[in-house]
């Protein structure tokens, strides 16, 4: 019997997904699980978005235009104008979530066998798309002690080879919450110009920045046709299920390629595009986004402060997004730790699920003492989750010591 293709087999399932059955089993045993393992917030989607969907005046639910519904594109252009970036309608296309925009960016910039430089830890789905397209991710390791900010540009330059086609990052970052400074980004921009590389900037969390200004890649005009923005409404509107994003480029060759890719997948979902028009045409849309930002800001502060009570925890206060990436020296293998929390531990019938760190690194052996915590629940729950985490880490460390002793 014929097997599936090599790249299908090479595709790794995410470690978080592998752990989900353990959470399901814990719930079956009556344990309450605080899910801080995924980037799915609990914040209600703005009413103006929902109204746009409900009140859509549609008789025939026909294909939307492949590049996006005209009114949606216009609304997005106005949105970027509000943030100080002027775009023409030749520079933006609507995609099926940021995921599709990212896949397009990778397919358009790289041939199979090409390299992309990516600061690690990084969003694991970058890996999946790279594998499916035969593209190599070359990791630039960043460190918890430095708040996951970039290493000196010389270290990054050393990784550039003739096969390098692009630099890719998310900013503010998933999974670390790092918000790059303008100077850091300028270093990457200059490097890209020097070596003639594309820069793919994934910015779904751009509005979720709590310290300083979230600098978009579009704010570097010197990058010209090399900049590709990957964007999504999922996080800033708490509308992950809408599946609406966009890709922005001032490179006509890139947009021409995007147009052809849009044609072969026909269109992005109509209802969600109309929801977005309704949201962005609401005069108060910026307030709605600001409300979401304020909630996450407060959650970040609460979670960060609570984490300081866990002995040995290493983390810097992240500037944006809704993640904190923490090192716990007591944890030798964070995937085992997550399993332990789900299988063997509870505090008064409750436990916590976080994401193990190693899955966010391409470099083998790194991140096993780290976890990503997503602050996607309200503050009282975050506080309780940290309390459980603290007790769980202590119990896990004790159980490992016992195991080591027994083994010896």
Question: 121 to 150, contacts with its own copies by CB under 8 A?
Answer: 125, 128-129, 132, 134
Residues 166-185 that bind its own copies (CB under 8 A): none
CA angle at residue 92 from 86 to 94, to 5 degrees? 135
User: Do 173 and 148 touch, CB atoms closer than 8 A?
Assistant: yes
Number of residues that bind its own copies (CB under 8 A): 78
Exposure string over 254-277, b if 16+ CB within 10 A, otherwise e: bbebbeebbeeeebbbbbbbbbbb
The residue range among 28-36, 177-185, 194-202, 323-331 that interacts with its own copies, by the rule CB under 8 A, is: 194-202
Residues 245-304 that bind its own copies (CB under 8 A): 253-254, 257, 259-261, 263-272
Site string for its own copies, 86-115 (x = CB under 8 A): ----------xx-xx--x---xxxxxx-x-
Q: Which of 197, 247, 324, 377 binds its own copies (CB under 8 A)?
A: 197
- DSSP line for 25-38: HHHHTT-EEEE-SS
* Residue 262, both tokens: 């849009």
Asked if 14 touches its own copies (CB under 8 A), the answer is yes
> Which lies closer to its own copies via its Cβ, residue 141 or residue 270?
270
CB of 200 to its own copies, least distance (A): 12
Q: Can you tell me which residue has the tokens 């978005």?
A: 49
Site string for its own copies, 46-75 (x = CB under 8 A): ---xx--xx-x-xxxxxxx-----------
Q: How far apart are CA 188 and CA 377, in angstroms?
A: 34
Q: How far apart are CA 192 and CA 224, in angstroms?
A: 11
Could you give the C-alpha distances from 78 to 84, 138, 217, in angstroms and in order? Answer: 10, 36, 18
> Which lies closer to its own copies via its Cβ, residue 49 or residue 80?
49
Site string for its own copies, 204-243 (x = CB under 8 A): ---------------------xx-------x---xxxxxx
CB of 111 to its own copies, least distance (A): 5
CB of 226 to its own copies, least distance (A): 7
Q: What is the dihedral of CA 253, 98, 107, 124, to 10 degrees?
A: 150
């Amino acid at each position: 019997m014929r097997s599936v293709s090599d790249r299908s087999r090479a595709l790794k399932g995410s470690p978080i997904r592998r752990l989900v059955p353990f959470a399901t089993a814990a719930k079956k045993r009556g344990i309450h699980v605080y899910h801080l393992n995924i980037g799915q917030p609990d914040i209600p989607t703005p009413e103006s978005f929902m109204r746009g969907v409900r009140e859509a005046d549609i008789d025939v639910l026909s294909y939307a235009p492949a590049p996006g519904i005209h009114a949606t594109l216009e609304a997005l252009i106005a949105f970027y104008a509000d943030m100080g970036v002027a775009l023409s309608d030749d520079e933006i296309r609507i995609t099926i979530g940021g995921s599709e925009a990212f896949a397009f960016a990778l397919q358009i910039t790289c041939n199979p066998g090409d390299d992309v430089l990516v600061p690690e830890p990084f969003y694991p789905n970058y890996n999946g798309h790279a594998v499916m397209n035969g593209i190599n991710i070359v990791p630039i390791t960043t460190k918890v002690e430095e708040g996951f900010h970039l290493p000196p540009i010389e270290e990054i330059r050393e990784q550039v080879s003739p096969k390098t086609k692009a630099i890719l990052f998310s900013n503010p970052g998933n999974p670390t919450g790092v918000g790059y400074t303008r100077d850091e980004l300028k270093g990457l921009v200059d490097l890209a110009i020097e070596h003639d590389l594309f820069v793919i900037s994934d910015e779904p969390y751009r509005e979720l920045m709590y310290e300083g200004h979230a600098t978009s890649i579009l704010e570097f005009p010197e990058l010209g046709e090399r900049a590709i923005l990957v964007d999504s409404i999922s996080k800033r509107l708490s509308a992950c299920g809408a599946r609406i994003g966009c890709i922005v480029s001032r490179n006509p060759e890139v947009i021409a390629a995007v147009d052809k890719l849009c044609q072969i997948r026909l269109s992005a979902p109509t209802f969600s595009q109309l929801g977005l028009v309704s949201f962005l045409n609401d005069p108060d849309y910026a307030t709605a986004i600001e409300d979401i930002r304020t909630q996450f800001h407060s959650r970040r502060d609460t979670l960060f402060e609570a984490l300081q009570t866990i002995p040995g925890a290493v983390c810097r206060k992240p500037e944006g997004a809704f993640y904190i990436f923490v090192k716990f020296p007591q944890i030798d293998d964070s995937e085992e730790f997550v399993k332990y929390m789900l299988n063997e531990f509870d505090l008064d019938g409750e436990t916590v699920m976080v994401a193990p760190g190693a899955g966010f690194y391409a470099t083998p052996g790194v991140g096993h003492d780290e976890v990503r915590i997503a602050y996607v629940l309200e503050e009282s729950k975050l506080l309780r989750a940290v309390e459980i985490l603290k007790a769980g880490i202590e119990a896990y460390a004790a159980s490992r010591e016992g195991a080591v002793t027994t083994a010896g």
